[in-house]
Amino acid sequence: MENFLKEKLEQKEYEKLISLENNKIMEFVAEAIKLCRPESVFVCTDTPEDRDYVRQYSIKAGEETKLAIEGHTIHFDGFFDQARDKAKTQFLLPKGLELGANFNCLEQEEGVREVKDILKDSMVKAKMIVRFFSLGPIGSSFSILCLQITDSGYVAHSEDILYRPAYEEFKRAGREAYFFRFLHSAGELEGNVSKNIDKRRVYIDIEDGIVYSTNTQYGGNTIGLKKLALRQAINKASKENWLAEHMFIMGVHGPEGRVTYFSGAFPSACGKTSTSMLEKESIIGDDIAYLKNIDGRVYGINVERGIFGIARDVNPVDDPIIYDTLTSPGDVIFANVLYTDEGKPYWLGMGQELPKKGINYSGKWESGKIDSLGNEIPVSHKNARYVCRLSYLRNCDPHLDDPAGVPVDGIIYGGRDSNICVPVEQSFNWEHGVITKGASLESETTAATLGQEGVRTFNLMSNLDFLSVPIGKYLQMHLDFGEKITAPPIIFSVNYFLKDKDGKFLNEKNDKSIWMKWMELRIHKEVIAIETPTGYIPEYKDLKLLFKEHLNKEYTAADYEEQFKLRIPELIQKNERIEHIYKKISNIPPVLFQTLEEQRKRLEKTKSQYGEYISPLIFVK
């Protein structure tokens, strides 16, 4: 093996690899070279020179183009390669192992054979880039090392922004290094984008700890350390009694300089990013968190150091912090937005007049251009992205890279519904919160026709797409985790999308900052809450003071009563929907059905006493 690598690598690259003193690394690289047959190999260390080489290589290869602002570049994925390929993202399982009917799985031997056939000779005209990263702060007991092999400069550059380089960590770990492995090839390129989309594959071998990805460039399919690694981490966490979650971590600033940390899970378009980036608070991460029991208390870290965010609707009014970052110098990559001859990027909802022509993911673009199906092509793709470092944000928390993590005292589950859940509510306890907030999470899609209620999509913990263990086991992981914590985090739910009978939102966008302030005070027992059949809600007097203090806004009693009204028919229907879903899934912990039944009985009793729609003031004692 060493002789093979010595023959295939330039001396400098061979020495970088051999100095790690890890046979598993050398075997993985050697196997990848034999399979993909790259024209050359570059082994990237942690040095600024090596990391800049990757960036410059991506630009020279045409995967990225420089923009006018210093450090900014733009990348385009293929027209039909703009999102995660759920159908072709599959788990490879050995015979006899099953995850359940909800999972997209393939027999391991068959899947490995197929994807290797596709990867064969895929890098003949390309450079193989070998990169070393850490999921989490360097030197942290939370962190997991990762080895990424790719022929895409864009993927390698993106990961350098998103993750902490860890070549030196691999060297320190030596033969004892445990790491996830990722092999990616963009495949044959046409116009610098993947050509053979029909052969796009994203296969996750959770038993061997390898992810194969090919014939795709979109970050969600190729940036191995993101959701592909999350699936690996969930499987690892299930064996080691911790949680790998699709959650932000943020600090909410309370009285006298106090900072209280929350993690939060929200499905897409439910307010996750905007919550994590609230102006007066501090952000540690916007997407993925590891949570562990450290001496009886929950601590969390952000596995990333950057953001792979959606550009759409980022504007100076609604998202001033990230907008400032995207319009200031720094290492920033845009993907699938439009740029003009002046080198300026444009995206949907950015708060500016958009140009009538430029270059976007469809090539040369002019207003009115249509695709092959006759649909008008927008100025920027709705899933257009940006990659930037969290440290660029003016509200980046100073503990972002703290190996010890931060204490997590609150967990938030945020859904989207127009007529059920109140804006903010505290669960009765850990078990109740896991089941009625996290495991019952729903997101309402856009209505198919005007006035029709949106379709509600079930998404437990906002992690359904990324589970690598059976749903029943995942639920039990959460229940067991809380039982072993001396004082578990308080679990809350939020809903920013309640509407009145005319379809008008009952809250403004910045009202979410008040719900965060109230939750922070609740954790420290500095405000009293009202007990309802589904949890604890704020008292009017406390919200009135918070709105005045933090938003200089008058919050009326009428607004409070309408927003926090108990909508019993809809709550009972939701209870029944969730129960029906879990009855179709095997090995669900019995306590889930028991907890849902107890909540239904409380709702029925309250309905018999007070009616179907109840003012929160009825519950004031």
User: What amino acid positions are annotated as catalytic residues?
Assistant: 270
Residue 312 and residue 427: Cα distance in Å, rounded?
Answer: 33
Residue 220 and residue 83: Cα distance in Å, rounded?
Answer: 7
Residue 335 and residue 343: Cα distance in Å, rounded?
Answer: 14
Residue 245 and residue 265: Cα distance in Å, rounded?
Answer: 8
The pairing of beta strand 40-43 with beta strand 127-135: parallel
Residue 115 and residue 519: Cα distance in Å, rounded?
Answer: 48
Q: Which residues contact 558 (CB under 8 A, 6 or more apart)?
A: none
Question: What percent of the chain is helix, strand and coil (3-state, nearest 5)?
Answer: 35, 25, 40
User: Which residue is it, tokens 């864009």?
Assistant: 154
Distance of CA 165 to the CA centre of its chain: 20
**Contact present, 543 and 561 (Cβ < 8 Å):** no
Which tokens is 239 given?
């064996």
Which tokens is 205 given?
């071998």
Residue 309 and residue 534: Cα distance in Å, rounded?
Answer: 34
Which tokens is 132 given?
């070393």
User: Which residue is it, tokens 């809809």?
Assistant: 570
The conformation of residue 378, written as its DSSP 8-state character, comes to: P
Residue 274 and residue 512: Cα distance in Å, rounded?
Answer: 9
Question: What CA dihedral angle connects 533, 538, 541 and 544, to 10 degrees?
Answer: -130
The pairing of beta strand 105-107 with beta strand 89-93: parallel
Q: Which of 514, 486, 493 is nearest to 599 (CA)?
A: 493
Residue 357 and residue 339: Cα distance in Å, rounded?
Answer: 9
User: Which spans in 20-176 are helix H?
Assistant: 23-36, 48-60, 108-119, 153-162, 167-173
